[in-house]
Amino acid sequence: MVNQPLGVVDSHCHLQSLAPEDLEPALDRARERGVVGFLAPGIRLSNADFLLDLCHRHDDVWCSLGVHPHEAETWQDGDSERLRDLAADPKVVAIGECGLDFYYDHAPRALQEQVMKEQWRLAMELDMPVIVHNRDSNELMTEIYSDPEFESLVADFHSFAGGKPMAEAVLSRGAYLGFSGMVTFKRADNVREVLPLVGKDRLLVETDSPYLAPVPHRGKKNEPGFVVEVVERVAAELGLSPLEASALTTENFYRLFPKASPKARSEST
């Protein structure tokens, strides 16, 4: 356990999934552990009002808005225009989470791809980053991300578990990789072996709460404060101190999501 404040950002936490009575206490617990920022990704556009209200009540909370592949069937005509309008809010720092999930297949694969591409095109139009969900879809995801159409897309491949070949492919196109509690799992060598490939300027940490609670919290509901265990393990794997790893991942967060940066915040007040 680190005694000094870390100054770390949880770059991916589903705050809307926490019980209403536990949301504020969970944020306070995280702040007490040295967490200085939280990015809450949307999974469907019906999340937008809740997330924006939450963000505007907390200076250290931001959101992304978009449609998760599980929710691809909720995408409707006109949603691209609606998302464009929502993204103008200063608290919306990215598009997503969007992507492909061929593990659960909650929506037809062709529809997942279509909805993802529409959001990627909008992100490029708005000059905003995207938060990418990828599960059991490495080959197609890498192929699409490598398409010249998406050359200018800036992406956070969150909770990355795609292995070395995919990591090398997306990093060569400028992607950022987010590491979650999986990096602490005993059998997650496929996650840890990617860390040395990631430039220190492309590394993010996250909880993906309420999922993937890190060791020693396995079996519990994950929460943003547990990003401390994530950054500690990332630091150990890379031969850094937790403070060094926190500083560089926080700097990366503000570079990738400039609307959340201290400069942007000071300009909006």
**Tens digit of each residue's pLDDT, the chain (269 residues):** 445 678 999 999 999 999 899 999 999 999 999 999 999 999 999 999 999 999 999 999 999 999 999 999 999 999 999 999 999 999 999 999 999 999 999 999 999 999 999 999 999 999 999 999 999 999 999 999 999 999 999 999 999 999 999 999 999 999 999 999 999 999 999 999 999 999 999 999 999 999 999 999 998 999 999 999 999 999 999 999 999 999 999 999 999 999 999 877 767 66
- CATH placement of domain 8-268: 3.20.20.140
Q: If you search the block for the tokens 């995280």, which residue do you land on?
A: 30
pLDDT for the residue numbered 263? 77
- CB atoms < 10 A from the CB of 215, how many? 15
Quick one: tokens of 247? Answer: 């500083």
Taking alpha carbons only, the member of 268, 267, 269, 262 closest to residue 60 is 262
Question: Could you tell me the residue ranges of all domains in the chain?
Answer: 8-268
CB 102, CB 135: distance < 8 Å: yes
pLDDT for the residue numbered 221? 92
pTM score? 0.95
Question: Per residue, what are the HEC states of 14-71?
Answer: CHHHCCHHHHHHHHHHHHHCCEEEEEEECCCHHHHHHHHHHHHHCCCEEEEECCCHHH
**Which run of H or of E encompasses 203?**
strand 203-205
